Amino acid sequence: MGANHLPNDDVRGILTELISLDRGERESCAAAISRLQNEADKIELRRFLLEHELHAARLTPLVAGEDRAPLDAQEQAKHPSNGGKRWRVALAGLLGDKMILETLKRDEDSLRYAYLDALSHTLPPEIRPIIEENLRDELRHAAWIEERLLSRARSA
């Protein structure tokens, strides 16, 4: 890696965090899908769920070193699953679709900020386009959730 790039361990840490957050968002989407009443919302969230899986799949090979398995047990301990998000969505489900969407919005915002933060660092040229592409998906997710929330507010 050149002098302008973060050390490999720093890049690995950034990518591992993004993978963990995307996996957590996948869990949140799965929990929301099982609780939402609106079928159209469920369809869109299934798409988001698949995109979060794709994001993690794109990033995982970049984390694996020649002598390391991707996200070995030690790394996973540093970046635990975001199971708490699933519980927040489950609790929001008791209050209806609007609360589920608001909870998802907060979770998606956190992930979007993590992608933006990653891009604020000097990254190897093979990594930056992947993070940018994942961020574009996150921006689209946020816009869709915000529109759904506004639509619900207008119809209330």
114 pLDDT higher than 90:
yes
Mean of all residue pLDDT scores within the chain: 81
Q: What is the pLDDT of residue 9?
A: 81
CA distance 103 to 33: 13
Neighbours of 62 (CB within 10 A): 20
CATH numbers and ranges of domains, the chain: 8-155 (1.20.1260.10)
Residue 113: pLDDT over 60: yes
CA dihedral 87, 90, 91, 92 (to 10 degrees): 120
Please name the helix (run of DSSP H) or strand (run of DSSP E) that holds residue 14, with its range, or none. helix 8-35
Is residue 134 within 8 Å of 127, Cβ to Cβ?
Answer: no
Q: How confident is the model at residue 91 (pLDDT cuts 50, 70, 90)?
A: very low
